[in-house]
A and B are shown apart, each in its own frame.
Chain A
């Protein structure tokens, strides 16, 4: 086992040095282009053009990668600033491209200066120069914390040997008695632990039908939790987003960036795999990415996610109570979801866990008229400024069990 680890480490070292060299060379070549211009161009492109154009692929409009090789700079400037005027001059190229896209009119951008357009064009020619840099830095070696489990095994083995020795070799009756008691206590302790663990699903991480990464969505792209889980603020259920919500973004995002990686279990998924995962979404809802349209008469197939957080039927939980009324952050119970590629159950979801929180959490009563009078009376009763959920009655059985 160790040797394999070692081997891996050597391999990784080799690979990272190799990438470093590659990267260095890439940066070397990048020296020749005006990186500031390209970066400005990217910014302007993303702000103005990206909703209809991609570099490599046809989208609402044509692919713009290396467009300078196909059109002259003057023509492009004329087209971008006012394509209708260009077409009115009877420019054959302009009319041809207009007809190719079924007469859909491109927005005119008279506000873009020549410098801006040059920057955009630089970007379309050289592409994303920062991407490579990120790829080089992304190859980090993650050191796992060394496991301490072996220590407890050693201790246990020593103890067992000791007890065996006392039983078979020793004549000391007192020692035997003590060791028997110790043994029984140990067994009881472990037995109790094991029994208490029955039905506990902390860390439950089932395989989902789509390798969906919360890290990419909530973490890197900072999509608000409640953008997708929109019923959390209204309802007892947080709600799993319906596919049309996914499509709000994924209509435009048909593929991930080159460097995107997702860890599902021990498996690392790269662009090739992840693009296929997005394809699963399109298959479910019937989206034709090439023609940028929903397929007609398509038999849509719902996605059957595996539910991770399961409360028993006899426990009533309401998301909106906690999210809207209580102002609790999602991460309080669900953990650092924005760092999870593959989601797992972060909290034990036991009654003790609920109650602990209810005992400690102070209710923020400011700005909510519902609490105004209650707060005044309660703080007088308990002689305190702030009251906990439990003092508000959040520990009564019937509040969650009915």
Chain B
């Protein structure tokens, strides 16, 4: 029975002497009201200039002045359109299908547009591939309203116009025509058929032109390997729903590995269905999101990862038994699964990627789709290095960069910037960045929500990008500029349409494709179940020399010293969205830290180096600083975060932080780790040196503690789930009454609330399907106008997230085992926990307002500002709230957030709500809360009400599963489901009856309208 495990959120909790944890368990608010500050000092009070009488006078005057001022209402103007567009009704949102393809994230999306303003990104549920939206895609709408965007083109550092830029660049390009110097387009991965065609057209008229694709976070090794094996520069696609055993060696496939978007299939295989679920074994050095979701996680350094891969290859192909016991166990499971097994690796080495492909080929893995590969990465490390050498050698005449920021993301960015001065440099960019500051010509590009485009994310699957707003500034698309420079008068829209009509659509309707946002062609894909004989044929594409790859890998020896493993964060990714406050404030799923990157280090290493993390009195975390040196390149003053589950001997550091150009001052956070990303390898040999100073983290892991309640999270093993009765692993709640153990239903403080009439909303969260990715958190921000509070406020536990994803660590040491061994309740129980904390198991649990039917918050509100609705929502009337915060104190789930300040129009909080442009993202259906009121999840009442109204207007009952909320809508894995439980047809009604369903802290008797399905771990070994 796994639910007796001991859970903790922060290592601090394992320290039984920690007064801070105790204090936080007692108090809802970490810091006391500072009465002492202004009442404690008697002397100061006595000598104060303001006497009591004066004070009363001031109060009287301000009251009178305020009431006088309130008498005169402001005159509000209403300005109608001159000619209203036909398809637009003010107050009714329009949805447009589009796609994002920024070189790092690729997704098919729906754009919600109100009064001509895009305000929300939703997943395009028509799309069969890449239809999910991660946190960055959700947040990308805010980039449109970024105050730091370029307002027009620049020539040699000064504001200019397009005519000048076109003339000068055109002349320069014509001069280069026919010379021995080349014109180079350096772009991020475009994956756009029309843009590629356009560049080809350009090369046809300028034969000395060429195109170099460059990915900031390179997948070159995997691309090279696939190319060597299957003859095309692309990435294999994986559908993990088809696998029963998943072995990942350093591949963070729930993160950004090979372009991401694998969580949909993965989550399908993780939800137990007919007693079956996948077994996921992870070998990795950092604690990644993928590792956190794994059934079994092994901490291995990079050299050991290579050995593991080789051992698996040998075991699969010629039956050699791996020497390592862990690998042997994994391999035996993999072999037993046969074609239902899959091996993926994130080792940045062509040979390693080749071997992984070879293993899957040998397994005939059903999860791998090599026939319809993905095009979401295309950069070649060799070509990029060659380009820089060419630039230095003076072989390049003009460099046109687009969708890329090499001066920042290249490890030799400084060298690049130097070489950039030798060439005619044109930077296409939406904002000033490190590359554009060195460029002679800066061509301002529109946001993708203002642009036309097309994307081919996967073979046979095409998507369109369409503008949803007229360009806000004097910008022009890269493609339109290229067309212009080629002397064409065609617009890029017409170009795409022509290209699609001849090459893509096969006679199908352009309008339909534009409406759907996607167009799919049939591509023969690998289907194991259907034909094994055909499969062999498909897999016998041009074979690469695997044997040579294996022997090359086998030569790799383990390094003795400290290793660095670079990674990208769920929030910022490669760093191009660094000026997005939603993403900066999104806590990292694992470390629960926002506004920073840091060195993650194991407890063992930290102790050896004398590095500490300390928790200060208000629950905030501080850490020591180190200098990190790779190959003579030093990144200074990097804070250290001691991370449970970090492989000893390896430190982790996130890329994408430390941007200096084009971002607001308050978002210049973290350090730039790209200089350490040498030769595009995420694994580096490193040395660190502790330096003086402390760093203040904005870490919320100690906040909202369990308050001493252990029952908050539930999980079980697949074995127990199948073989044991339900009450064993998901017991019904019991309470004590008259010294008797009675079922919870027998006892109630409240009267029953009749909610059988009309819709009754419930939200279901499947902990087995939740990967902790955080897309829901950002979606909630966007939908509900949740303010960004900034690093300082986060440190004070004043984060405003209506929805948080709690991350719990747990270890094998259960309470039961502790009792058996006689150490429970003693200090040694915590001791015993500490060691497993070196590689804990991780569970994620999204927590928002639970919308209790018997809500403790409602009973304590002195002004009845929070009340219960018949539809199951716990309603919060902000205008009625007087800010006593009793409700937050009485909430067992700690989900109510208090507005300590006015977060809009306030220079102290200089984020998007502090400027007119940034405020355009606000949802007009949801009020912006003011200072001094409580706020919390409303269960998106504006969305449920809109759905009801739509049904009423159309005179029909709501359709099956029609009701939606922002978080459930954004959840690509489907772990969150929402709906009306009174309609038994709905998915949610079935989920409520599921055996795995439980309510958070059910024994408190709050009867929440949010329920969870407990997590199941497949612990079966061999």
Contact = CB atoms under 8 A, between A and B. Distances in A.
Interface in B850-870: 865, 867, 869-870
B506 interface: no
Given A396-B867, A398-B877, A236 B84 contact: no
Given A231-B92, A316-B925, A325-B949, A398 B78 contact: no
Given A370-B956, A377-B756, A396-B869, A303 B80 contact: yes
A367 B754 CA distance: 26
Interface stretch (A59-67, A158-166, A198-206, A328-336): A198-206
B78 A240 contact: yes
B955 A285 contact: no
Interface string B83-116: 1100001111000000000000000000000000
A312 interface: yes
Contact of B942 (A198, A206, A314, A316): A316
B985 to A, nearest CB: 13
B967 to A, nearest CB: 16
A320 B879 contact: no
Contacts of B865: 397
Given A304-B77, A314-B878, A368-B955, A381 B754 contact: yes
B953 interface: yes
B76 A307 contact: yes
B82 A302 contact: yes
Interface size range of chain B in the complex: 35 or more
A127 interface: no
A290 interface: no
Given A321-B949, A370-B957, A393-B870, A243 B876 contact: no
Contacts of A302: 79-82
B90 A237 contact: yes
Interface string B877-898: 1111000000000000000000
Given A304-B77, A393-B758, A399-B869, A368 B880 contact: no
A210 to B, nearest CB: 12
Given A316-B925, A370-B951, A244 B76 contact: no
B928 to A, nearest CB: 7
A401 B878 contact: yes
A378 interface: yes
Contacts, number: 157
A4 B757 CA distance: 66
B867 A398 contact: yes
B877 A401 contact: yes
A173 B928 CA distance: 57
Contacts of A312: 879
A234 interface: yes
Nearest to B928: A313
Interface residues of A, number: 58
A374 interface: yes
B928 A397 contact: no
A373 B957 contact: yes
Interface in A369-402: 369-374, 377-378, 381, 392-393, 396-399, 401-402
A73 interface: no
A356 B956 CA distance: 28
A279 interface: no
Nearest to A206: B75
Contacts of A324: 952-953
A239 B878 contact: no
Given A310-B76, A325-B952, A397 B877 contact: yes
B785 to A, nearest CB: 11
- Name which of A201, A315, A397 has the most chain B CB atoms within 10 A of its CB: A397
B436 interface: no
A149 B485 CA distance: 79
A300 interface: yes
- Name which of B71, B78, B870, B875 has the most chain A CB atoms within 10 A of its CB: B78
Nearest to A231: B89
B873 interface: yes
Contact of B73 (A199, A243, A315, A318): A199
Contacts of A307: 76-78
B80 A372 contact: no
B938 interface: yes
A239 B80 contact: yes
A325 B953 contact: yes
Contacts of B82: 242-244, 284-285, 300, 302
B802 to A, nearest CB: 12
A252 interface: no
B878 to A, nearest CB: 6
- Name which of A195, A393, A399, A401 has the most chain B CB atoms within 10 A of its CB: A401
Interface in B541-576: none
A302 B82 CA distance: 6
A402 B956 contact: no
A12 B122 CA distance: 68
A235 B67 CA distance: 35
B51 interface: no
A374 B945 contact: no
A378 B757 contact: yes
Nearest to A321: B949
B70 interface: yes
B955 A398 contact: no
B472 interface: no
Contacts of B76: 306-307, 310
Given A325-B953, A397-B877, A239 B79 contact: no
Given A235-B92, A321-B949, A369-B957, A306 B78 contact: yes
A306 B75 contact: yes
Nearest to A323: B953
A241 interface: yes
B869 A393 contact: yes
Contacts of A14: none
B64 interface: no
A239 B80 CA distance: 8
B927 interface: yes
Interface in B676-702: none
B941 interface: yes
A182 B83 CA distance: 61
B742 interface: no
A198 B70 contact: yes
B882 to A, nearest CB: 14
B871 interface: yes
Given A242-B81, A306-B77, A402-B926, A368 B952 contact: yes
26 contacts: A230-B89, A234-B89, A236-B91, A239-B90, A243-B82, A243-B83, A244-B82, A285-B82, A302-B79, A302-B80, A304-B79, A305-B79, A307-B77, A316-B942, A321-B952, A370-B951, A377-B757, A393-B870, A397-B877, A398-B873, A398-B941, A401-B875, A401-B878, A401-B927, A402-B875, A402-B925
Q: Which 10 A-B pairs have the closest CB atoms?
A: A398-B875, A235-B91, A242-B81, A242-B84, A325-B952, A237-B91, A240-B80, A307-B78, A397-B877, A314-B879
Interface of A: 195, 198-199, 201, 204, 206, 230-231, 234-237, 239-245, 284-285, 300, 302-307, 310, 312-316, 318, 320-321, 324-325, 367-374, 377-378, 381, 392-393, 396-399, 401-402
Given A313-B927, A401-B877, 18 more contacts: A199-B73, A235-B89, A235-B92, A237-B90, A237-B91, A239-B91, A243-B82, A245-B84, A305-B79, A306-B77, A310-B73, A370-B948, A371-B952, A372-B957, A393-B870, A397-B877, A398-B875, A398-B941
